[in-house]
Chain A
């Protein structure tokens, strides 16, 4: 049986997560002055904004969100 997680370790971990995670791009101010959200930008890129951020890691080497790529992209895959 694994040991019960220590409250101190839990608190330290949460503290690291609070201070070390960089924020996501939330709002983009475009050169024409318009304001786009992250969702707007993803749609502009032809991607589904509804894919959870977790999906972006669940491929080899943690980089890419194949699930979010539009089917019509026509890009070659490995």
Chain B
């Protein structure tokens, strides 16, 4: 098959079954973090965990952070080139958000056109919830839910020439006539959740790409997985429901703290970004765990010696779990920034989004963090089909509280619009994608976006006015005071 225009011609080896005899029972695997188009992508830890598990089992695993490349064209070309050089027996594509889909599809198509005929496994939240999508592009299988055990089993099955269809956790195209309607998905869930205490730390030697150096040195760490909430727009709970076990599972506090101390000692990491879905977990269990993490960080960072100091910490959590004692301790351990998934300061919208919290919880949590002197980054979904002036007015009260406390607001607070993801509770009520807004809300949204992101996609904040946040607040204020009608809930 001739390669696609603009792509390098490569000759990739077929996977000889069985491989064990010639390859000393070591698989070589390339895992690619697919491009999302985000101008400031964070590394996805999923591929790094898969690589660590494979390496510990004696296999060769390489991670290519294609999401960090400048654009999808470059990412696709680099992936094909790297696949040619590494010659993997099996290739994994990590799709961490729906925005990765176009890049993932182009990457897979380019690999197939370039002659790669080994198995290609796709994983991540979106494909887990809709495995038929990547299967329709030609993916061999989809790793649904947490991937470590499933992916390792798949790699070793390929190595042994066994069938992938016997592996729990993999979704495969259903059998059927070659020219008939395809594909219904075959899937058997795994019986045991991934044992987080037994996992190695994620690898940190991603294949180099061309992201330029910046001053801030940041590393991502996952201290827990999942969330107990049932927010209607969120895919996290749906993802973890694909597997057995509780929907929020923490790592042992000392394990987390040791990784933090090791990152600090080895790389001089200045900031640790905990990428947990909800750092606080549920109730007292979650609070006790967070306190143990803080105490262990204080001990282990202290153990790496004088002069190193503690890295700054950043977490994300639900606002209703915030209370002063835990956060005072976390602050002592280095916490500087808390991202709160508030979504709304308006009770009807909290109810509609299934947040299971009261507006009072929002105010109490935000005030608590501000009182402790922490940086608070609030995320609001201000624009959705049911937005009203009353809701915007309630959100503005919260935004003014933050602004008066000297907190930058940012796009997450001012210009988020509802996206409906398949597999979520909202996805059963609305078609996937971006639902339409009432016309007057759409006008406000467009004007807000013009103020928040005046630049091109690669540099969305280029050209922002110096006091752009005031402009946005004034615009929202005009709408809330009745310049727009909106629809009442």
- Could you list which residues of chain A lie within 8 angstroms of chain B, going by C-beta atoms? 2-3, 5-6, 9-10, 12-13, 16-17, 20-25, 27-31, 33, 41, 44-45, 47, 53-54, 56-69, 73, 75-78
Contacts and interface: CB of A to CB of B under 8 A. Distances in A.
A29 B458 CA distance: 40
B69 interface: yes
Contact of A60 (B200, B211, B259, B306): B211
B200 A20 contact: yes
B304 A13 contact: yes
B267 A57 contact: yes
28 contacts: A13-B258, A13-B303, A16-B259, A20-B201, A20-B258, A22-B203, A23-B55, A23-B56, A30-B87, A57-B217, A57-B219, A57-B269, A59-B213, A60-B213, A61-B42, A61-B68, A62-B217, A64-B65, A64-B206, A64-B207, A64-B209, A69-B209, A75-B69, A75-B74, A75-B209, A78-B39, A78-B70, A78-B212
Contacts of A64: 65, 68, 206-211
B208 A47 contact: yes
Contacts of B218: 60-62
B31 to A, nearest CB: 12
B86 A16 contact: no
Contacts of B304: 5, 13
B446 interface: no
Interface pairs A-B: 10 shortest CB-CB: A16-B258, A65-B208, A22-B52, A76-B70, A9-B303, A62-B219, A57-B267, A63-B43, A31-B13, A22-B55
A24 B53 CA distance: 12
Interface residues of B, number: 69
Most buried by B among A27, A41, A53: A41
A78 B458 contact: yes
A58 B209 contact: no
Nearest to B308: A2
Interface in B58-93: 60-62, 65, 68-71, 74, 78, 82, 85-87
Contacts of B62: 25, 41
B105 interface: no
Interface in B248-263: 254-255, 258-259, 261-263
A22 B219 contact: no
A17 B255 CA distance: 9
